[in-house]
Each structure stands twice: as structure tokens, then as C-alpha cells.
Structure 1
Amino acid sequence: MAEITASAVKELRERSGAGMMDCKKALTETGGDLEAASDWLRSKGLAAAAKKSSRTAAEGLVGVAVAGTKGVAIEVNSQTDFVAKNEIFQGFVREVTGIALEKGDDIDALKASPMAQGGTVEEVLTANIATIGENQVLRRAKAVSVSQGAVIPYVHNAAAPGLGKIGVLVALESDAGVDVLEPLGKQIAMHVAAAFPLALDENGLDQDTLERERAIATEKAAESGKPADIIAKMVEGTVRKFAKENSLLNQLFVMDGKTPVSEVVAKAAKDAGATIKLTDYVRFQLGEGIEKEESDFAAEVAATAGLTK
């Protein structure tokens, strides 16, 4: 058997854009022949999958799952919304969500986890790219848990059970029963989906975000022409308002528009004669923070046909 050198793997990767392990396997299968290995990758759809991986994937699905006192949300992206309706894609997201529920939210560990059909999550994803014909990315995952109580899931714009455009998990630490926690958690989860809090409380807000708001407020306040001490108070007031409006426990409950979420939880605890604490949440919105490419379809067709100048 021919020796597969690191330099040969590197050259094949540069030629095909395929992954290192796929390149090594291709060279092994073809006795180290670079041309034959390139053809092998193409025949398996792996080179094509690598080329597609440069395309922006901002559509897809968010998956959520819970088991007892823990839950997980994941996001798997595709290039078009059409793929989100594909049974292969939905099945992949559903299974990977289940794997994440069992093994945790570390993306590298998830990618290396075995799937029921054989192969790792990353290998099956690569095969799906070739089969479906679009770039797909396992983008992120987040797990939450409580020692006692419940984690309640909610999916907005559901494409299938547990799959949709917005996935929310709400963690309630409590000695109350599920008959109390599930309806409360569902309402809070719907609030989270609609209100888009940035943190559980003010202390959890990102400091860079607060400084950016402070800078904007300072610039606006300076235009008022008021004395420096008044401007300073105006700025701090604006930042405090921003923090209050963007921390979940301080937000006004969307169900009535007047009661802070913290008070909604306190009232539910009092009515149930139990302790209830909202300890964590997850809100994944599909494509959030991904800059979508603006494509010129006519130019893309022309380029494909070799008509570009």
C-alpha cells in the first residue's frame, strides 16, 4: 500500500476543497494517485460539498428538545428555506438535537458524535450537502438545566414538532408540579420569542453592548446643549432604561403589557404555594447575526454559463 503523506493530503485539499479526513481516505482508496483521488472525491460528492460550503447559509431550522430537567436548542443552517421542508434535512436536525440533549452543547463534540445511520454528525452533514445540493452548517447549540423543576420548550413558526424558525427554552427551578410549571413556562417562552431579551437580568447584559448604547446616548444628549452634569444624568438614565427593557426579568410581560416578568413568576409561586425561580433561558432565532449575501441571479446564471466578461 502506498504511503499517504501529509503533503499529498494537503495538495488534494487545495485541489478539491474537501476535508482532511476525506482527502486521506480518497488517497488511501486510490493508492496515493492524486488525479484518481480527485475523481474519487467528486464521485462521492465530497468535492462538490466543499465548494458549496463557501455559500452563505442563513436559512434552515432551529430544533429544541427536553428530557426531565434539561433541554437543548440547536441551529442548523441551509442556503434556502426550501431545504427546511426537506425530510432528510428535518430528520438530521431532529436526530442531532436528540444527540445534543444527551451529550451536551459542545459543537466539536457534537460533530464527532455517531449517528444511527452510521458515520459521525459531521460526515452525515457533508453527505447531505452533496445529496441535497446546498451548503448546510451546524452553527450552534445551547443546553440548560435545573436541579429540580422543569425546562419548557416552545417553537415559533413550527415546520414540524420541535423544529421551526425560533426555538425557546425556559428553565424554572421549583418544587411546584408540572401542572403549574408548564403553563407558566409556556407563557414566558412565548414572551421570550416575542420580546427578544438580551440577558436574564441586567448583570448579564454584555458590557460592550452597554458601552455602545452609552456612546449613542452621549452623542444624542450632547446635541441638547445642556450642562455637562445634566447630560451625564440623561445618558445614565437612557442606559438604565435600555438595560431594563432588554433584561428578561425586568421586561413587561407581553401577555398584559404592564407586569414585569419577575412579578409574574413571583405571583405564580405565591398562588401555587411553592418556590419558583426563572434561572435561565435560550432563544435561538434562525439566521440571527448572519449577514446574508445579496445575489444577482442573472449574473450568477451568466457566470455558470461562462458568459461573464
Structure 2
Amino acid sequence: MSTITTEIIKELRDETGVSIMQCKKALEDSGGDVEKAKVILAKQSRAAAEKKADRNLGDGLIITRQKGDQVAILVLRCETDFVAKNDDFIKVANDLTDMALEIGIEKTKEAAQGMLDPLVQKIGENMALGELSILEGSPMGIYNHNGKNVAVVVMMGGTADLARDIAMHITAMKPRFLSKDEINEVDMENAKAVFEESVADKPDDMKAKILEGKLNTYFKDFTLLEQNFVKNPDKTIEQLLKDNDAGIALYEHVMI
């Protein structure tokens, strides 16, 4: 059996992130073999994570990282705001985001659990990789509000500043559709079912027109191009884009 020194225990702790006592026990169980101790700790971390896997992930952190014309959006989920502010949790979220831009989404997803398991064991909360996407284009605007509410906008024409203003607007107004063309049949039928009740007592020859007006008003609030711009409510987003000879190629909005 190899001698288990304080230095070896500390090195193992620094590498794995688990507690001193867990590292010491793993080294004892492995006969002082550091590599075997790492395997033992990895198995323990996976087991600890599996026990907590059914806990609700009600909080987390959203990281955005831009590299050239690409931006990665990553959501790392946890149970509480306390852990979302933990330095180790934040570091893993940032490392995974950087990894996504370097090696791609699928390989990052494959690596994520192995990076999270020791943290779950150390902190004692369930954690999981949530949404992960990479958008590409230019000009691009990013608005990240406290790591909880993020929008990214890719423009056709315009400027990065305009794209960021619209991204900020999206985080505030939370549109569900870019334009009326994106309103699908299910959304329309669900809305009709609600508003048909409110016009049930109206004259038959007026019901259709009143219902149409209510639906238009309802969907206007959730359609980005028809919303009034938060920084200048006298203009809609569509008018703002026309004034700047620009359009929106795509956008993504993520919230925790």
C-alpha cells in the first residue's frame, strides 16, 4: 500500500472537488492508488447524483458567450438560488459554455454529467444541463438580465446596438411569436375557446367581428413585430426595423 500523505489527499481534492474526508477514504479503499481513488470517487459522485435526480430543478443560471459571429446560450439548472450563485457552479456553467463553442453541442452534452456529478456530491443539490444552443449571424445583439432572462437577436441589416435594444425589449415583453405568421392553429383554437365564452351573450351578427377584435388584441401582446418598443412606445418593433432598414433573421429567448 502506498503512503497516503496530506499532499496527495489535497491534490486529489483539488482535482475532483470533493471533500478531504471523501478523498482520504477513497485513497484508503484504493490502497493509496490515486487513479483507482478517482474511479471510486467518480462512482460515488454518480450514485449521489442519481439519488437526487428526481428533485425539482427550480433555479439555475443562464450563460451567454460570443465568439465571432457565434453565440452559445447555456442553461445550467439547480434547485435553489443559493447554489446558482455558488462560485463552483458558476465556473462549471462557464466552462461548459466555452466547451460548446470549442467542441460543439453534442460533445458538450456528453461531458456535462461527468463535470456535474462531483459538484452534486460536494454541494448536495440536484443539477442538470438544461437548454444549450448556438446561434450564428451578424449583426447580433445579446441581453442577459442577471443570468435569469436572456435574449439573443440576429439581424438582417441594422447594427449590433439595434439588435441589443431589441433583445432587451424581448426580455421585458416576452413575445411568443415573431409575426402573425408564426401563430399556429393550436394557439389560435385555444384562444378562441377562451374568448368565445366572453362574446356568447353578444348579438349573433356581431359575434364574429368582436371575437376577431379580441383575438387580434390578445395576439398583438405576444407578437414581437406588433409590440410597442419599450424604449419608444410610439413605435412598434416593425416600425423600428423599417426606420433602420433592418429585419430580424432569428431570435431566441430563454428564462429561468
TM-score interval, normalised by the smaller of the two chains: 0.7 to 0.9
Identity of aligned residues (%): 27
Q: Partners of 1:253 and 1:68 in 2: how far apart?
A: 28
CA contact 2:77–2:127 (8 Å) conserved in 1:
yes
Shift of 1:225: 3.5
Partner of 2:250: 280
Aligned partner of 1:166 among 126, 149, 174: 149
Gaps of 5+ in 2: 1-28, 31-39
Q: Partners of 1:230 and 1:284 in 2: how far apart?
A: 40
Shift of 1:99: 2.5
Q: Deviations over 1:69-113 (max 9, x none)?
A: 2222121110000011111110111122223334555xx54311x
Q: Does 1:187 align with 2:187?
A: no
Q: Say which SS state the counterpart of residue 209 (structure 1) adopts.
A: helix
Q: Partners of 1:239 and 1:63 in 2: how far apart?
A: 36
Q: Does 1:130 align with 2:112?
A: no
Write out aligned runs for 1:193-272 (5 A): 193-222=171-200, 224-227=201-204, 229-269=205-245
Shift of 1:153: 1.1
- The total of aligned residue pairs comes to 219
Amino acid at match of 1:135: N
Q: Partners of 2:84 and 2:162 in 1: how far apart?
A: 30
Change (3 A) 1:54 1:88: same
- If the length of structure 2 is used for normalisation, what is the TM-score? 0.78
Q: Deviations over 1:3-51 (max 9, x none)?
A: xxxxxxxxxxxxxxxxxxxxxxxxxx99xxxxxxxxx579723222111
Q: Partners of 1:220 and 1:171 in 2: how far apart?
A: 39
Partner of 2:108: 110
Change (3 A) 1:101 1:42: closer
Aligned partner of 2:141 among 148, 152, 156: 152
Q: Partners of 1:103 and 1:249 in 2: how far apart?
A: 35
Q: Partners of 2:175 and 2:239 in 1: how far apart?
A: 16
CA contact 2:141–2:165 (8 Å) conserved in 1:
no
- If the length of structure 1 is used for normalisation, what is the TM-score? 0.65
Q: Partners of 2:107 and 2:183 in 1: how far apart?
A: 28
Partner of 1:24: none
Taking only aligned residues, the RMSD between alpha carbons, in angstroms, comes to 2.3
Q: Partners of 1:263 and 1:54 in 2: how far apart?
A: 47
Shift of 1:212: 1.1
